[in-house]
Structure 1
Amino acid sequence: MKTDYLIVGSGLSALVFGSLMAKSGKKVQILEAHEHPGGFGHTFTMAKKYKFNAQLHYVWDCGEGHTVNRVLKKLELDKEVTFTRYDPDGFDHMRMPGYSLDIPSESSELIRRLSHLFPQDDDQIRRFILEVQKTSEGIKKLSPPIIPTELFPNIDEVFCAIRYLNSTLQDVFDKFKLPQEAQTLLALQWLDFLLPPNQLSFYAWVILFTGYQQGAFYPTQHFEHVINSLIKVIEENGGEVLLNLEVTNFQITNKSVTGVQAIDRITHQSREFSGETIICNIDPQKAAQIIGVKNFSKKVRQKLNYEYSPSNFMAYCVVKDIDLRDYGFGKWNVFHSGHRDLNQAFYQMYEQHDFSNPSFAITTPSLMTETQPDCPEDCQIIEFLTVANYDYFKQLKDTDDKAYRHKKDEILDSILNVVETHYIPHIQKHLVFKITGSPTTNERYCWCPKGNSYASNLTPHNMGIGRLNYQTSLRNFYFCNASSGYPGFAPTFWTGAILYQRLSGDKILSKS
């Protein structure tokens, strides 16, 4: 039976699109190759009692009237799916040798704190932060749907944004002559991109940095509840989310995609599915290879020629008989760097595979909300994340599994040694569970090619006007994922919702 919208993949943008269409009365069917829906948003259980999210840690754009809130209101989920805000006085705690900075929501307070640390550079700091805010406003005016009448009254902000179209974060640091230590403190969120300042798009950094300033959040009932709530809307409105079905082929007739073939990963039987419209949530490059790149227009083929983002190392740990709040943890993340220069830190870890002086993020999901604990009451979860090179780990995994496991242990030991020295003395005595994930883990469990963490790389080239979007040049076939939109919780909500708008005409994200 042909469905209205056949969706390949169950990542967050697909679930948002699917739930909105299902709620509007359309028949929706989602095929997912994994045993869990949600892509990087999925939750898994270890040792039958500890729950971990695959990668998402904190989110933005969830406040009243913002993207996530608007979507949830449309789905009548805004009272069911709620968010707890991180500490606005310091949602990110930046730490490096000799310096510490808690990032506040108010830009004026951020200027004050930085100027206190670097009094001789207070003018450059103030001008840089004001430029960030101005660029942020310009980017908002230039983001779809563009309202032409809003461009001229905000021409200064628009031109400011256009000025930095091809700039890296390092380019703008250099323009304003910020001291190296101030650069590092401001850029320590680099693990939210897995790119150093000299490669990271200034646009990407501005969007995320100012987004978190407006409100950094964590789901009150954890990420699993968000995913399950979207699926519930789909199923309650006659739709389906089918798991363990890996799409192996797309059916094409006269430049029109009409359906797919899929292998049931449990029974190994082949099945066929058809739809009036096919929505592709799997990686566009991977989909194009299955379909045949020659079937796409030259313009789309050029846009499909993106590089993947770097991947990451992840450690999921559980501590017992210790309260992490006593050691400076709470409703915020901690970002640590042993280097003054994040460009050097990235090179050492990503290119040289040397984690002896790591730069990494620490998050404590158990402390973000009191609802539905993700572990027993006498335990708390603490997680660590840093960058990792897929090609290096893939080679280790394929050639020497013992060396692969040893490298993962070596990275975690290095991180834990830093944590014991600077944050939590004797943490290793309190560890009751630990498991690590590498780039190949991402590829295996989240189905992301080369273990990429953020789809296409967030460099200026990939953030420019030539970035891939939902259009595929094939009839009845649309892309809907992080590479054809933007990565992250709020941006994938936006990606799914904006495609829904374009295909349905229902303007839930209108700027008016």
Structure 2
Amino acid sequence: MQHKRFQRFSPDIDFSDVDHIVIGSGIGGLTAATWLAKCGQKVVVLERHYVPGGFTHSFKRKQGFNWDVGVHYVGNLEEGGSMRGMFDLLSNKKLEWEPMGEVYDVVQIGDDVYEFKAGKENFRKQMIGYFPNEEKAIDDYLELLKKSNKWGSAFFFEKSFKPFLSKSLGWFIRKFYKKYSQQTTLEVLSKITTNKRLIAVLCGQCGNYGLSPRHSSFGAHALVIGHFMEGGYYPKGGSEQIALKTIDTLHELGSEVYINADVSEIVTKGSRVKGVMVGETFIPCKSVISGVGVNNTFNHLLKNGASKTCDFNLETVKPATGHICLYVGLDKSSEELNLPKHNLWWYANENIDATFDNMTLKDAPDKFAYISFPSAKDPKWEETNAGTATIQAISKANYEWFAKYEDQPWMKRDDEYKKLKEEFKDGMLERLYNLYPQIKGHVAVTEVSSPLSTKHFSNYKKGEIYGLDHTPDRFDLSFLRPETKIKGLRLTGQDITLVGVAGAMLSGMLVAITILKFRVWRIFKEIGELQKK
């Protein structure tokens, strides 16, 4: 059933008074739209999919099961946490969160289990308990996280600076952050320890940013690990509540979200934005905010050489990795099956780099699996889905494994493609039975998504889930900023900042700052008041 706060796009709708058009309804675009709307701007959000929310949305099947597609947990939502005020602002405090408990992540290497406990000191004690001879290395690691993230916060905030300030103070910030962002995670950790198992455990959550230690920027690693240091939280009612509650706020402020609104072109004249085309319909506006990724924006939506104005060069950074996921529906409740709230990162061995570099579709479930239990995390699941439970089991996947089927229509690809998915399903079910034998005999529904599924719904051309690869090179691209050289064209989403809900929200905030300027203090004041309440 269509949510009352958004509607299908129609060329008959009056768009004559629009100030800003946001392309894409991911959390970056919704954040920017909400901040602008709270300051009296008229915003329209255009979403090509039939469900809004980007990677925060959920999908349902006739059997009554539903699963998240991207949000498995969010950090910094403890009392006074930086994300709490941001979400309260977007939802007018209507979005509720459930803590995942003392243990929010578990890294398992072979049969060895390592628990990640919420709180810096709890984390420290736990790791020292596992590695009693590595106390100094663990303390050094925590100090490196702290220093890197201090400069990382400044690095991203600098993206909202005007050119003069960027060339002066911004130069200073970028110079000092290079110490962390321009080294790989393995390079940094190898300087504080030679213990390969400790390095593997500290990097066990690397799937959150999609790259193994030898390839990832330590800056990205530090920001993601720091984000979850105080524990993980899950939105009550499922991840779709993030978008729906935000859309409610937008609607109350007089701005709207339209689905089935596939923007085909960002229309420019000279070096200025004039509006967008949706099919044959031209919608004029003062500015366009694109949340569909820099590749889609500059290589597909800008026509007639307009992208050359911006001097973008993405040749040094590849798209992030894809993933393949097994969605499982069970005929007993999470409580009956004793399913955990925490996520599991399972690795066959401690060499994560070799695992990710050499993985094939056939052996993926035998090498790596990230397992999440959304029904166990959500206290409202039983209200509408009594006596059932859900699991998501994910592994890394290269787009090239499926590229030969990319031109075949969704849900109608040939038997060879279906066989590949069936083989992955069988392999991943065996992995789940090995780790959680109590679920055997209770699997009611399964479904597999591949990078082609991601491409179909998100329009990322290589089925990537994290935008641009989080390598050191990414952090050296000066043009990854909210403002472009085309006047009125701005960018939001994880390409501009960092992977995940927090990164995308930050990008939306930065976009709003570049437009609102000093008026943005109204928003910060409201966040402060919400936190006091």
Structure 1 window deviating more from structure 2 (376-385 vs 477-486): it is: 477-486
Counterpart in 1 of 2:50? Answer: 35
In the aligned structure 2, how far is the partner of 1:12 from the partner of 1:3?
20
In the aligned structure 1, how far is the partner of 2:282 from the partner of 2:423?
46
Are 1:22 and 1:239, in contact at CA under 8 Å, matched by a contact in 2? Answer: yes
Counterpart in 2 of 1:347? Answer: 357
* Structure 2: stretches of 5+ with no match in the other structure: 1-15, 162-172, 529-533
C-alpha distance after superposition, 1:153-203 (max 9, x if no partner): xxxx99985422211111112112241111222211122122111111111
TM-score by length of 2: 0.85
Counterpart in 2 of 1:12? Answer: 27
Are 2:344 and 2:372, in contact at CA under 8 Å, matched by a contact in 1? Answer: yes
Is the counterpart of residue 471 in structure 1 residue 483 in structure 2?
yes
Q: Which amino acid aligns with 1:404?
A: Y
In the aligned structure 1, how far is the partner of 2:383 from the partner of 2:315?
39
Q: Which amino acid aligns with 2:137?
A: Q
Q: Per the alignment, in what secondary structure is the counterpart of residue 370 of structure 2?
A: strand
Are 1:137 and 1:158, in contact at CA under 8 Å, matched by a contact in 2? Answer: no
C-alpha distance after superposition, 1:418-441 (max 9, x if no partner): 2222x2215341100111100000
Q: Which amino acid aligns with 1:127?
A: D
Counterpart in 2 of 1:25? Answer: 40
5 Å-filtered alignment, 1:101-500, equals 101-144=114-157, 161-263=177-279, 270-289=280-299, 290-292=301-303, 294-296=305-307, 300-302=311-313, 306-321=317-332, 323=334, 327=338, 329-349=339-359, 354-355=363-364, 357-373=366-382, 376-396=385-405, 401-421=414-434, 423-425=435-437, 427-464=439-476, 466=478, 468-500=480-512
Are 2:334 and 2:376, in contact at CA under 8 Å, matched by a contact in 1? Answer: no
C-alpha distance after superposition, 1:346-384 (max 9, x if no partner): 02225x763252211111111112125486211111111
How far is the alpha carbon of 1:53 from its aligned partner? Answer: 1.6
Q: Which amino acid aligns with 2:349?
A: H
Are 1:310 and 1:453, in contact at CA under 8 Å, matched by a contact in 2? Answer: yes
How far is the alpha carbon of 1:405 from its aligned partner? Answer: 1.7
In the aligned structure 1, how far is the partner of 2:129 from the partner of 2:141?
15
CA 1:299/1:14 → structure 2, altered by over 3 Å: closer, same or farther? closer
In the aligned structure 2, how far is the partner of 1:287 from the partner of 1:131?
35
How far is the alpha carbon of 1:98 from its aligned partner? Answer: 4.1
Q: Which amino acid aligns with 1:14?
A: G
C-alpha distance after superposition, 1:1-32 (max 9, x if no partner): 14111112211111111122223221111111
In the aligned structure 2, how far is the partner of 1:325 from the partner of 1:358?
29
Structure 1 window deviating more from structure 2 (206-215 vs 174-183): it is: 174-183
In the aligned structure 1, how far is the partner of 2:185 from the partner of 2:386?
42
C-alpha distance after superposition, 1:329-357 (max 9, x if no partner): 4231111111221111102225x763252
In the aligned structure 2, how far is the partner of 1:188 from the partner of 1:324?
27
Size of the alignment, in residue pairs?
493
Are 1:44 and 1:54, in contact at CA under 8 Å, matched by a contact in 2? Answer: yes
Are 2:44 and 2:255, in contact at CA under 8 Å, matched by a contact in 1? Answer: yes
CA 1:6/1:374 → structure 2, altered by over 3 Å: closer, same or farther? farther
Counterpart in 1 of 2:4? Answer: none
CA 1:501/1:215 → structure 2, altered by over 3 Å: closer, same or farther? farther
CA 1:187/1:306 → structure 2, altered by over 3 Å: closer, same or farther? same
Structure 1 window deviating more from structure 2 (61-70 vs 25-34): it is: 61-70
Q: Per the alignment, in what secondary structure is the counterpart of residue 441 of structure 2?
A: helix
* Structure 1: stretches of 5+ with no match in the other structure: 149-156, 264-269
Structure 1 window deviating more from structure 2 (372-381 vs 51-60): it is: 372-381
In the aligned structure 2, how far is the partner of 1:296 from the partner of 1:244?
25
CA 1:476/1:322 → structure 2, altered by over 3 Å: closer, same or farther? closer
Structure 1 window deviating more from structure 2 (446-455 vs 46-55): it is: 46-55
CA 1:70/1:304 → structure 2, altered by over 3 Å: closer, same or farther? farther
C-alpha distance after superposition, 1:20-58 (max 9, x if no partner): 222322111111111111111112111251121222111
In the aligned structure 2, how far is the partner of 1:283 from the partner of 1:482?
8
Are 1:348 and 1:355, in contact at CA under 8 Å, matched by a contact in 2? Answer: no
What RMSD, in angstroms, separates the aligned Cα atoms of the two structures?
Answer: 2.8
Counterpart in 1 of 2:95? Answer: 81
In the aligned structure 2, how far is the partner of 1:184 from the partner of 1:306?
25
CA 1:109/1:481 → structure 2, altered by over 3 Å: closer, same or farther? closer
In the aligned structure 2, how far is the partner of 1:170 from the partner of 1:509?
37
Question: What percentage of residue pairs aligned between the two structures are identical?
Answer: 19
In the aligned structure 1, how far is the partner of 2:450 from the partner of 2:66?
18
TM-score by length of 1: 0.89
CA 1:75/1:379 → structure 2, altered by over 3 Å: closer, same or farther? closer
C-alpha distance after superposition, 1:197-251 (max 9, x if no partner): 1111111111111110123211122222221111112222222211112111222
C-alpha distance after superposition, 1:34-87 (max 9, x if no partner): 111111111211125112122211112334454433334444612x11211222
- 2:68 corresponds, among 48, 53, 66, to 53
In the aligned structure 1, how far is the partner of 2:160 from the partner of 2:321?
35
Are 2:27 and 2:504, in contact at CA under 8 Å, matched by a contact in 1? Answer: yes
How far is the alpha carbon of 1:324 from its aligned partner? Answer: 5.8
Q: Which amino acid aligns with 2:465?
A: S
CA 1:36/1:11 → structure 2, altered by over 3 Å: closer, same or farther? same
Are 2:319 and 2:467, in contact at CA under 8 Å, matched by a contact in 1? Answer: yes
Q: Which amino acid aligns with 2:391?
A: I
In the aligned structure 1, how far is the partner of 2:440 from the partner of 2:479?
45
How far is the alpha carbon of 1:460 from its aligned partner? Answer: 1.0
Are 2:28 and 2:506, in contact at CA under 8 Å, matched by a contact in 1? Answer: yes
Is the counterpart of residue 70 in structure 1 residue 85 in structure 2?
yes
Structure 1 window deviating more from structure 2 (437-446 vs 136-145): it is: 136-145
Counterpart in 1 of 2:10? Answer: none
